[in-house]
Amino acid sequence: MLGNEFLFGGDYNPDQWKDYPEILKEDMRLMKLAGCNLMSVGIFSWATLEPEEGVYDFSFLDSVMDRLAENGIGAALATPSAARPAWMSMKYPEVLRVNERFERIRHGQRHNHCYTSPVYRQKTAEINRRLAERYKDHPALKLWHVSNEYNGICYCDKCQEAFREWLKERYDGDLDKLNHAWWSTFWSHNYTDWSQIEPPSPMGENSVHGLVLDWKRFATHQTIDFYLEEVKVLKEITPDVPATANWYWLAQRELNYKEFSKYVDIIAWDEYPLWHSPAGDLAIANEAAFIYNHCRCFKEGQPFLLMESTPSNVSYRTANGLKRPGMAVTTGLQAIAHGADSVQYFQWRKSRGGMEKYHGAVVDHEGSENTRTFREVAELGGHLKELKEIKAARTHSDIAIVYDAESEWALSDCFGFKTHDLQYDETCFAHHLPFYRRGFNIDVISPEDDFSKYRLLILPMLHIMREETAERIAAFTEQGGTVVMTYISAYVNETDLCHLGGFPAGRLKEVFGIRNEEIDSMYDGVSLPIKMADGTVFGAKDYAEVLHLQGAEALAVYDRDYYAGTPCLTKNRYGKGCAYYIGFRDEGDFLDAFYGGLTEELGIAPAAEGLPEGVTAASRVKEGEEYIFLMNFTAEEKKVSTNHPVLLGKRKEDAVLLPPYGTAVLKRRDNK
Amino acid sequence: MLGNEFLFGGDYNPDQWKDYPEILKEDMRLMKLAGCNLMSVGIFSWATLEPEEGVYDFSFLDSVMDRLAENGIGAALATPSAARPAWMSMKYPEVLRVNERFERIRHGQRHNHCYTSPVYRQKTAEINRRLAERYKDHPALKLWHVSNEYNGICYCDKCQEAFREWLKERYDGDLDKLNHAWWSTFWSHNYTDWSQIEPPSPMGENSVHGLVLDWKRFATHQTIDFYLEEVKVLKEITPDVPATANWYWLAQRELNYKEFSKYVDIIAWDEYPLWHSPAGDLAIANEAAFIYNHCRCFKEGQPFLLMESTPSNVSYRTANGLKRPGMAVTTGLQAIAHGADSVQYFQWRKSRGGMEKYHGAVVDHEGSENTRTFREVAELGGHLKELKEIKAARTHSDIAIVYDAESEWALSDCFGFKTHDLQYDETCFAHHLPFYRRGFNIDVISPEDDFSKYRLLILPMLHIMREETAERIAAFTEQGGTVVMTYISAYVNETDLCHLGGFPAGRLKEVFGIRNEEIDSMYDGVSLPIKMADGTVFGAKDYAEVLHLQGAEALAVYDRDYYAGTPCLTKNRYGKGCAYYIGFRDEGDFLDAFYGGLTEELGIAPAAEGLPEGVTAASRVKEGEEYIFLMNFTAEEKKVSTNHPVLLGKRKEDAVLLPPYGTAVLKRRDNK
Amino acid sequence: MLGNEFLFGGDYNPDQWKDYPEILKEDMRLMKLAGCNLMSVGIFSWATLEPEEGVYDFSFLDSVMDRLAENGIGAALATPSAARPAWMSMKYPEVLRVNERFERIRHGQRHNHCYTSPVYRQKTAEINRRLAERYKDHPALKLWHVSNEYNGICYCDKCQEAFREWLKERYDGDLDKLNHAWWSTFWSHNYTDWSQIEPPSPMGENSVHGLVLDWKRFATHQTIDFYLEEVKVLKEITPDVPATANWYWLAQRELNYKEFSKYVDIIAWDEYPLWHSPAGDLAIANEAAFIYNHCRCFKEGQPFLLMESTPSNVSYRTANGLKRPGMAVTTGLQAIAHGADSVQYFQWRKSRGGMEKYHGAVVDHEGSENTRTFREVAELGGHLKELKEIKAARTHSDIAIVYDAESEWALSDCFGFKTHDLQYDETCFAHHLPFYRRGFNIDVISPEDDFSKYRLLILPMLHIMREETAERIAAFTEQGGTVVMTYISAYVNETDLCHLGGFPAGRLKEVFGIRNEEIDSMYDGVSLPIKMADGTVFGAKDYAEVLHLQGAEALAVYDRDYYAGTPCLTKNRYGKGCAYYIGFRDEGDFLDAFYGGLTEELGIAPAAEGLPEGVTAASRVKEGEEYIFLMNFTAEEKKVSTNHPVLLGKRKEDAVLLPPYGTAVLKRRDNK
C-alpha cells in the first residue's frame, strides 16, 4: 500500500504562504531534511482554487504539486469540501448547516456544510472532477484525502426529508413498526404520519430514545453517502488511487466509524492524546493504544494511516504543554507498533494567523531546523526508514475487547444509572489497561465482527444486545472460548427497547448462569468493598448489580450494605468454555488482578515479558518475523531483559535500554 | 373520601402494552397480589384516544376500565392534556408553547402546551367531555386525575395579551398605579401604554422585579384558569366524582400552590425525595415531612393524596440509587403519617423504551412478582389494609412554620445578599428540622392562613410582608402567641417594593422591639461566632444583621468583627406574647438548641417522647384516638419505649422495635 | 477644573420619588449634612423628560436643578441615552441592539441601543439639544455626564455596513491587504468581496482573529463616534461646560479606553473593588490602585473623576458584604491619593424597587442620617473639605507599567498557552503589587505613551508588538532606561499575525540578548522551581519559556524537567541601559524580591518609607508641596514613623497612627 516505506509528513498549507516565495522554497529543503515522503495538500484550498463561482485557478496548486514531485515527495491530495469559499455561502445559503435548534448558521469556521444539499454535492463533485482530471497523471498524486474530519449533523428541511425517507426504508414503510420500535406510545408520541417525524432537538422532541439512535444512524448514513458521492468522480478518473477520509473520533461521536470503515480504501485517523496531563502518561498511552487497536480492526487487521498528530503541543487544551524530549519519536512509533503504516503531522508549518497558529508544527514561526521539535521529527523520520521492513506487517491477538458505537450512543443519551455520566469509553479503556500494561496485543473489535478467532472475549457495558450477537457469544463460549461481561450489558435491543424477562437478555442468562435483579448506583466517592473467595478485598464504585446464581459459582461477594454476601463476580462453565460476569465497576485494582490471573490461567502470552512499570509492548508480524516494540512512557531510563536482536535501541548486555520516553524495537521469529 | 380504605396503586400505562395481551392480563393478577385498589390511567393517552382529529377510539380504554372494575380496582381517570398527539401540533402550531426567548418550540416532550390557546382549550374540553360521558357510570371511575403536573409558562402573543388584560384588572386600568407598584422609573422603564408590557425575558426586560412577580402570579392564574376549563365539563357530567391535579413542586416553582389549592377538590402531590443521597436520610426525611405537612395544610388539614412516588429508584439523579430494604414501606407510611390517605406509585410497570424506562416501578422489565421491590410494595399494601381505621384522621399541631411561595419568587430573583443563592427553601427546612427530629407535629402554612390556633409561629426569611400579615402577626403575639422571625424578613411589600422607615417593616419593629440597620453577607466557608448570655458559642454563616434594641433584650451577641457585642438574637415581650428575632443564619446547632429550649419552655409536647437519633414521629387523630407513627430513618434497628398498644410493629417488653428503615404504629387515646 | 474643592456627591434619581415630596426635601438637608457639592442627575430620565414622542416635559427636572442650585450643589447633568422610553423601542425597532447571534433584542434593561441607528442618533441629539438649551445658563450646571457606562456592540445590518466602510478605509480599499492582515487563507476564509465580511459570531465566523481585533477596534470607534455626536450639540450651546463619559472597565472590555480618552474633557471612572473578599484587602487595593494609576495616565497626569463607587455594599457579588468601619473614608481617599479630584457614589438613595434596590447608598430605605454608612460618608465629606489644597495636584513616578487593551483582546481570544485563561490583567496587577505594597508611585501607561520620562519600564505579557513600539523600547534602553519584559510578549503584530524569525520579535532579541525557542504550559497546581545565581529558589507556574542566551547573562535557571539548567531570568546591557527578561510566571515571591532589589539598585524612592505590612502610600505634588497618603488596608491599628506635618490623622510622638482601615495624610516639601 502506497509504496514500501512508512509514510511520513503532514498537513501542508502553502496557500497561506503564496506571498513568501522564500518560505515555499525553504519548505522543500526542510521536508527532505526531516525525511518526509507524503504531504497532505489542498485541505482548505477551495477559495484559492475557485475564487469565483466557475472560475478555477490551479496554477498555484500546480506549482506545489510539481515542487513536491521534483523533490520526491508524494501528495495526499485533498478534496476541499471541509470549508467553502464565502461566495458560495452568500449565493446558496442551503449549503450552510442548520443547527439542532433549527437555526441556519452563517458563513465561517469549517466542517459545517449540509450533507444533503444538492448544490453542495454538485459543487463538490465538480471541483473534485477538475482536481482528478488535472492531476490524474501527476507523479506526486499518491492518495485522495477526501475532505477533512467529516463531522456533525445538519437539521435542515432537506436533511429531515432524507431522514424520513431513510426511516421509511428501514421500517418497510410501516409506521406501526416504527412506533413499536421507538416505543412512541410513551408520552403519547405515536406518529400517525411520516411527516410528523422531526430530528431530536432541544427545541422539540428529545425524549424518544429510539429516534435518537436512528437519527445518529442516519447521520452516519448520510455522511457516508456524501463521501461516496465525493469519491465516485475520483474513482471514475483515477481508479487506482486509493481514497480515504481522516477521522477525528473525539470531535465526531455521531459517526459510527465501523460502518464508515466499509466504504474507505484505507483507515485514516487523527489522534491527539493528552500527553503529560494529570491522568498520567501510561493511562494516556493506554487510551491511544486502545484507539489504534480499534483502527487496526476496522478492516480486519489492515494497517491504517495515522493521518494527523502533533509533533509537540496542541492549542485547545486547558494547558498546552510540550511533548517531553523523546515523545515525538515514541508517540509516532506507538502508532506504528499498533498497526499504523504512517506518521503524519498536523501541521507542517505554523500559520501566522488564525486559531491554530500556536498549534505545534514541524516548522515553527522561527522558520529553521534549529528547534528541538524539528530535530526529533527528523530523528523519527530516520527511524522509519531504518524500520521499513516492518511496513504492512500484521498483528496477532488472542484477546478481543468489544467496543460498540451504538451502545455509546444509547448510554450517552440514557436516563438512569448515573445520568448522564456513564463513562462507557472510560470503562472500555479500563478493561484494556491490565492487558496493555503487561504488553499484550489486544484487538478492539465491533459486535458484528467474528469472535471465533479469539480465546478471550471481553464485553464491557455492552448495553445494546442484538439477538444474533447473543447467539454468537453463546456459540463462542460453547465452543471453548472465555467470555467476560459486565454490569449494564445486554439491557436493550437495537432500538433501545429493554429486553423483557430479566437481564442479561435471553439466552445470556444461561451462558453466564445468573440473573440480575436490580442495579444500585452510588454517588461519586462511595467505595463498596467486595470480597474474593480467598478473602482478598477490592473496591467497587458507581454500580452494584444484585445478582442471583442460576448455575454459576460466586468468585466474589459484596461486603457491605443490604446485598452483603451476594455474588458480584461469577463464573459459569458453558459448553467447552467459560463465562465470567462482573456486576460492579472496579474502583482500582480488581480488573488488573482479575485479568492478570485469567491470562495466566488461559496461557495467553504477551508480546514481551518482564516489563518494568510504565513500559509497554506491542508487536507486528510479517513473513515469519515478529517485531516487538518496547515503549517507555516514563521520564526515567528503563531496562528490559531480552536476547532478541535489537532493531532500534541500545543493547546493554542481556537487556535493551530505553531512555526516558524512548522506544526500542526487537525482532524475533514468529511462533504463532 | 374515596372509600374507607387507604388508596394504593399507581400510574398505569397499558396503552404501551397493547400488543402484549399476556402482560395486560398479568397486570391484573399482580395488582391484586400487591393489594392495589386505585390505578391512574389515561395520563398520556390522547394519541390513542384520538388518533386523528375528531376520530375517537375508546375501545382500548374501555377494556382497561372494564378489566379494572372486574378486578375490583378503581380508576383515577386522567384527562390527557399533558401531552398532545402529533397531528395537533402540526395542524395548530398555536398549541405549542413559546419559550422565554420568544421562540415557538416544536412538537415533542410533554407538559408544554400554551395555556391560553383557544384551540388547545377547545380540544381539551372536547376530549374531556367524551371521557366524562363515556365513563360517567363506569364502576371503575373514582377520581378525575386532571392532566399531569401542570408546569411552566408560555410567552406567546396570546398569553402576553391575556397577561396585559390580567394586569389591567389588577391595577384598575391605571398605568400609573402599575408604574408605581413596579417602580418602573428605575432605568426609565415607565410604561406609557399597556401594549408596551412584555413578559420578563433574557431577550428583553428582566430588571423589573415587580413585573417578574406579577408574571408568576399570572402564570398561576392562567394555569388555574385552564384547569377550571378542563374541570368544568367534567363537573357538568359527573358532579359527584372529585377532581384533582397532581403537583410536582420541584419541577414547577412558577406556580403558587396555595392559590391553586383553592380550586381542587383534593390535594394531590408527587414526591421524590433524594433518599440515601449524601445529605443523609434524616435531613431528606425532614424535607419530605415539611412538604407533606404543607400539603396537609393547603386545605385546613384535609387529607391529601400522595399521587406519585417511586417504589425504588428514579432515573434523573446524579446517582440513581435503590431504596434500601424497608424504605418502600417506611417512605409510604411517612406520607400517611403526615396526612396522606394514599400511596400511589409512578410507575406500575417499567416501559420498554423512552426516557423513563429505568425509573423504578412496581413491576420490573423482568415481569414477575419475584423482586424485592414487588415484595416490599405488596407488604405495604398489606399494612395499609391493616391500618385502614386511620384513614381520614386529622393532625393536631401547636407549631406552625410559614412558607410563602411569593417570598421564594422574590428571593430567587433578588440582586443582593448572596445573589442568587438565598436558600429560602433550605432555610425553611432548617427551621423545621429541630421539631421534626424530636417528633413534633408541625403545620406548614401560608401567610394568609389563620395563625390564631397555634402557640408557636415561625417566620423564616418572610421577605414579602403585607401590612395585613404584619397586623395579624402583631395580633397573634399580643394575644399570647410566641413568634420567631429571622433576617431578611419583612423587607418588601407584595410588588417587591422595599418598606420605608427601616426593617422589619412598620409595626413589626414594635412587636420585635428592634430595628435592623444593615445586613452583612459572608462568603461560603466563613463562620461567625455568636455568644449566648450563658457563654455558649454557636456559629453563624452567610448573613449577619446589625440590630439595635428598641425594647427587646439581647439573648445572644455577635462575637467577632465590627459588630462584636451587638445583639443577634433578641426577645421582646409584646402584649401577652413574646417575639424572638434571629439576625443570623445558623451554621449548625443553634436552631436545634433554641427550638429545643423553646418548646420545653412553652410546654408543647411531641407526638412521641424519647426518640433515638434518626427516629421520628408524627401522629393523626380520629374519633378520640391518636395514631402515632414511629419511623426509623437509619440502617440500624432502633427501640422506642412505649406502653401504648402497637398497631404495626414488633413489641419487645416495654418498647417497640423498629427494624432498619422500619416503621411502627401505636395507638392511644387522644388527649387534645 | 470644576472649582477649588474636591467634588463629592453621587448619582441622584429624584425621578423615582416624584410622589414623595417630603423625601425630595429631606434629600437636600441630608446632602448638605454629608457635604455634597455635585450630584449626577438625569441619567435614566428620558421617559420622564419625553413621555411621548416629541412631547417634552422638563418641569420636574427644572425643580430638581433649582433645588440643587438653591442649596449650593452643582449638577453633573446626564444625557439620557443609556436607556430609552418604551415608546421609542416599539415605534423604531432599529434602536434596539442586535446580539452576537444576530437576534434583535426586545425593549428592556439598559445600555443596549444600536450605536449606528440614525433614529437613535437623531433622538439623542434632539433631547441633548433641548437639555443644553434649557439649562445652559442654569447655575447648577457644572458638567455634562454623557450617557452612562457606554457598553457593548450591536450586530445589526447598519452596524455591519458601518464596519465594512471602516475596514475599507483602514485597508485602503484593498481586500488583498485585509486578507493578508487577517491571514484569511487559513480554512479558506479569503474574502473576495467586502460584502462577505460579517462580524465575529458563534453563529458564523469566529476563527479569524484579525477580524475579532478589528471588530473590537470598530466597536471603540463607533462608540466614540456616537459620543462625539452626543457632545457636538452640547458643545455648540455650552462650549464652556466640560463633558465626560463615565466608564466601567469590568463591564466593557470591548472598549479601548486609551483611544476613547482622547475625546473626553475629563476622565471619569466607575470603580467597584471587591473589598473584603477572599482575595484579601491588600490585593484588592492593589488592583484598585492599578486602575486609578491607569486613569491618571490616560491624559498625561490630569486628575480624573471617581464618578461612581459604593459607600457600602454592591448587589451583584456572590456575597455582598459591607465595607468595614473606616473603609468608606479610606476607599474614597485612595482614589484621591492616586489622582482623583472627586469621590462620587452610586447611589445617593436606595430605590424602592428594581434590581439595584439593595445596592449600597448614602441614604438607606430607612431614610435618615442615623446609619453607620451615612456617618462615614459625611466624615469623608468633611475630610475632603479639609484637604482641598490638594485638589489638582499631580503625581510623579519613575516607574511605568505598560497596559495594552489590544493585547488583552488578543490574549482573551487566543487558542494556545492556557486557553482561554491567560490572566493578562492579573499578571499586570502582579507586576504592580511589589511596588504598590512598598509605597511607590507607579504610572500605568499605554504602549503609545512616551517612555522617556521613566527610569523603569515594565512590559508584562505585551503580546502585540508593533515595530514602532519595539523601536521605542530599544531607544529607551539604549539611552539608559531599565526595561523588564516577560513571557508571551512580542509574539504578534497589530493584526495578530505572528512575527517570523523567532520571539521576541525583531530587534528585541538584541535588546534582551535572548531568543525564546518554545513555551511550555503547565496545569494548575504544578509548581516549577527556579534557582537564582545565589542559590535561592522561587516557584514558577503556568508558563516556562525555553530561552537561549544571545548576549544576555542568566540570573536564574529552571531547576526541573528537561529544561533544567537553562536560563529563565536574563539580564542584558544594551546601550546605556539594561534589559531584563522573565521567561516564567511567578508563583508567589519572585516578583516581590526581584523588583524590591531592582528599585534599590536603581535608587528609586517610594512615597513613604518603612511601611508596615498592609499599609501603602501614594503621593501628589502641587506648588512645591508633596502630599503623602498613608492607607491602612488591615483591620488592625498601624503606626508609621514620620516627622512630616500631619494634615489628616493622629500624630503620636514620631509617628502617625492609622486606625483599622484608616488613612492619614502628610505634607512635605517636594524634592523632585
What is the tens place of the pLDDT at every residue in B349-383? Answer: 999 999 999 999 999 999 999 999 999 999 999 99
Neighbours of chain B (3+ CB pairs under 8 A): A, C
Residue A670 has pLDDT above 90, yes or no: no
The nearest CA of chain B is from the CA of C128 a distance in Å of 16
Report chain B residues whose CB lies below 8 A from the CB of A189.
Answer: 47, 83, 86, 108, 354
Using CA coordinates, name the residue in chain C closest to A23: C500
Q: Does C319 touch chain A (CB under 8 A)?
A: no
B327-to-A62, A297, A493, A631 alpha-carbon distances in Å: 76, 49, 32, 53
Q: Does C671 touch chain A (CB under 8 A)?
A: no
The pLDDT assigned to B671 comes to 63
Q: Does A279 touch chain C (CB under 8 A)?
A: no
Q: Which three cell numbers stand for residue B598?
A: 423553646
Report chain A residues whose CB lies below 8 A from the CB of C102.
Answer: 106
Residues in chain B: 672
CA distance B202 to B621: 50
Q: Region A426-440: what's the mean pLDDT?
A: 98
Residues with Cβ within 8 Å of C503's Cβ and at least 6 positions away in sequence, in order, are A365, A366, C490, C491, C515, C516
What is chain A's mean pLDDT, rounded? 97
Q: What is the pLDDT of residues B441-478, one digit of tens each?
A: 999 999 999 999 999 999 999 999 999 999 999 999 99
Q: Region A626-643: what's the mean pLDDT?
A: 97
Q: Does A55 touch chain C (CB under 8 A)?
A: no
Q: How confident is the model at residue C2 (pLDDT cuts 50, 70, 90)?
A: confident
The nearest CA of chain A is from the CA of B17 a distance in Å of 9
The nearest CA of chain C is from the CA of A355 a distance in Å of 6
First to last CA, chain A: 24
Cβ separation of C191 and A86 shorter than 8 Å? yes
Cβ separation of A502 and B354 shorter than 8 Å? no
Q: What is the pLDDT of residues B206-251, one digit of tens each?
A: 999 999 999 999 999 999 999 999 999 999 999 999 999 999 976 5
The pair phi, psi for residue A14, each rounded to 5°, is -65, -20
Residue with cell 416635559: C57
What is chain C's mean pLDDT, rounded? 97
Q: From the candidates C101, C185, C197, which should be mutated to test the interface with A, based on the most A CB atoms within 10 A? A: C185
CB pairs under 8 A between A and C: 177
Q: What is the pLDDT of residues B284-311, one digit of tens each?
A: 999 999 999 999 999 999 999 999 999 9
The pLDDT assigned to B159 comes to 98
Q: What is the pLDDT of residues B648-665, one digit of tens each?
A: 999 999 999 999 999 999
B406: annotated active-site residue: no
The pair phi, psi for residue B123, each rounded to 5°, is -65, -40
Q: Region B534-552: what's the mean pLDDT?
A: 98
Q: Which three cell numbers stand for residue A663?
A: 522506544
Q: Region C455-460: what's the mean pLDDT?
A: 98
Residue A79 DSSP SS3: coil
CB pairs under 8 A between B and C: 178
Q: Does A194 touch chain B (CB under 8 A)?
A: no
Burial label, A363 (beta-carbon count in 10 A; 0-12, 13-18, 19+): buried
Neighbours of chain A (3+ CB pairs under 8 A): B, C
Closest residue by Cα to residue B579 from B505, B475, B469, B435 = B475
The pair phi, psi for residue C370, each rounded to 5°, is -85, 50
The nearest CA of chain A is from the CA of C204 a distance in Å of 4
Cβ separation of C415 and A277 shorter than 8 Å? no
Residue B272 has pLDDT above 60, yes or no: yes
Dmax (CA) of chain A: 77
Residue C1 has pLDDT above 80, yes or no: no
Report chain B residues whose CB lies below 8 A from the CB of A102.
Answer: 106
CA distance A153 to A219: 6
The pair phi, psi for residue A256, each rounded to 5°, is -95, 100
Q: How confident is the model at residue C322 (pLDDT cuts 50, 70, 90)?
A: very high
C-beta separation of C539 from C527 below 8 A: yes
Q: What is the pLDDT of residues B513-529, one digit of tens each?
A: 999 999 999 999 999 99
The pLDDT assigned to B251 comes to 58
Closest by Cβ to B204, choosing from C108, C312, C358: C108
C-beta separation of A86 from A47 below 8 A: yes
Report chain A residues whose CB lies below 8 A from the CB of B108.
Answer: 189, 198, 201, 204-208
Using CA coordinates, name the residue in chain B closest to C324: B562
The nearest CA of chain C is from the CA of A252 a distance in Å of 19
Residue B672 has pLDDT above 60, yes or no: no
Using CA coordinates, name the residue in chain C closest to A47: C188
The pLDDT assigned to A1 comes to 65
Q: What are residue B244's DSSP bridge partners?
A: B145
CA distance B520 to B537: 20
Cβ separation of B418 and C320 shorter than 8 Å? yes
What is chain B's mean pLDDT, rounded? 97
Chain B (90-129) residues lying within 8 Å, Cβ to Cβ, of chain A: 90, 103, 105-110
The pLDDT assigned to B250 comes to 67
Closest by Cβ to C209, choosing from A18, A110, A353: A353
Q: What is the pLDDT of residues C75-116, one digit of tens each?
A: 999 999 999 999 999 999 999 999 999 999 999 999 999 999
The pLDDT assigned to C249 comes to 78
Q: What are residue B456's DSSP bridge partners?
A: B399, B482
A149: annotated active-site residue: yes
Q: Region B407-433: what's the mean pLDDT?
A: 94
Q: From the candidates C357, C362, C634, C636, which should be mutated to test the interface with B, based on the most B CB atoms within 10 A? A: C357
CA distance C660 to C636: 5
Which among A230, A259, A287, A308 is annotated as catalytic?
A308
The pLDDT assigned to C251 comes to 58
Report chain C residues whose CB lies below 8 A from the CB of B205.
Answer: 106-109
The nearest CA of chain A is from the CA of B581 a distance in Å of 39
Q: Region C320-333: what's the mean pLDDT?
A: 98
Q: From the candidates C366, C369, C371, C373, which should be mutated to test the interface with B, based on the most B CB atoms within 10 A? A: C366
Q: Which three cell numbers stand for residue A401?
A: 475487547
Residue A672 has pLDDT above 60, yes or no: no
The nearest CA of chain C is from the CA of A479 a distance in Å of 51
CA distance A297 to A443: 7
Q: Does B548 touch chain C (CB under 8 A)?
A: no
Asked if the interface predicted TM-score (ipTM) of this complex is over 0.90, the answer is: yes
**Percent with pLDDT over 90 in chain B:** 97
Report chain C residues whose CB lies below 8 A from the CB of A317.
Answer: 419
Which among B50, B254, B287, B308 is annotated as catalytic?
B308
Residue B420 has pLDDT above 80, yes or no: no
The pLDDT assigned to C671 comes to 63
Closest by Cβ to C415, choosing from A321, A355, A366: A355
Closest residue by Cα to residue A272 from A301, A251, A293, A302 = A251
Cβ separation of C203 and A106 shorter than 8 Å? yes
Tally of CA atoms within 13 A in the half-sphere of A343 that contains its CB: 28
CA distance B64 to C475: 93
